[in-house]
Amino acid sequence: MSYDELKNDVLLVAALKLDSHEAFVKIFRQYYANLVLFASRYIPDKNVCEDIVQEAFLKIWANRKELEIKTSIRSFLIKSVQNLALDELRHTKVKTAFQDMNHEAILSLSPEEHMFFTELNDAFESTLQKLQPELLETLMLSKRDRLKHSEIASKLNISIRTVESRISKAMKFIQKSLIDYQELIIIITLCFNFF
């Protein structure tokens, strides 16, 4: 990396820390296409690659005040995209294995068990719809989207304690609503990976 490139990177990072939208757009335009191409080394789906690169840029913008780039912006972005792509691969692998396991479990159910499982699933979905909107949103971010409490707090602009309280209230409501299905809560745990 030349002195001019290093100087340019330092200036761009400094501008980002000062909330410069122009600096962000300049970095985005300069690196976006090549990063999507780089991500395609790991993930064959172009849409997923674009999502990964966009997520890398969103993280840069969200964390711009604390941004510390010890190498170059290019190297920093490549490492970020690589980490996100590897996370996506791991997530996809786990999700596929989990779906295969669930499919086998459902196929092995007797007709009576299948009917009861369907009834349990309907009760579970109905219970979710009865949750207060803010409780449901917080619960979904935690359980479905797998966000950490700190990430949820930041996303919803609430405290971590509020996140914990909402999730706790939602879980208690769900458990109370499904009390008649207590013996089969384990099934819903395995099939929905929710509790």
pLDDT at 144: 82
| pLDDT at res. 107 | 61
100 pLDDT above the threshold of 70:
no
Instruction: Please state which CATH class domain 3-91 belongs to.
Output: mainly alpha
Predicted local confidence at residue 50, as pLDDT: 93
**For the CA atoms of the chain, what is the radius of gyration?**
22
Encode pLDDT of 117-152 as tens digits: 677 777 888 888 899 999 989 988 988 888 899 999
What is the percent of the chain with per-residue pLDDT over 90, rounded to a whole number?
Answer: 25
What's the predicted TM-score (pTM) here? Answer: 0.49
User: What is the model's pLDDT at position 5?
Assistant: 56
Kindly list the domain boundaries of the chain, sorted by start residue: 3-91, 109-192
Residue 121 confidence (pLDDT): 74
SS (H, E, C) the chain: CCHHHHHHHHHHHHHHHCCCHHHHHHHHHHHHHHHHHHHCCCCCCHHHHHHHHHHHHHHHHHCHHHCCCCCCHHHHHHHHHHHHHHHHHHHHHHHHHHHHHHHHHHHCCCHHHHHHHHHHHHHHHHHHHHCCHHHHHHHHHHHCCCCCHHHHHHHHCCCHHHHHHHHHHHHHHHHHHCHHHHHHHHHHHHHHCCC
pLDDT digits (tens, 9 = 90+) for 14-27: 888 898 889 899 98
Average pLDDT for residues 85-109, to the nearest whole number? Answer: 66
Q: Give yes or no for residue 168 having a pLDDT over 60.
A: yes
The pLDDT value recorded for residue 3 is 46
Whether the CB-CB separation of 151 and 163 falls below 8 Å is answered with no
Q: Which fold has domain 109-192?
A: Arc Repressor Mutant, subunit A (1.10.10)
pLDDT at 194: 45
The closest alpha carbon to 106, from 181, 193, 187, belongs to: 187
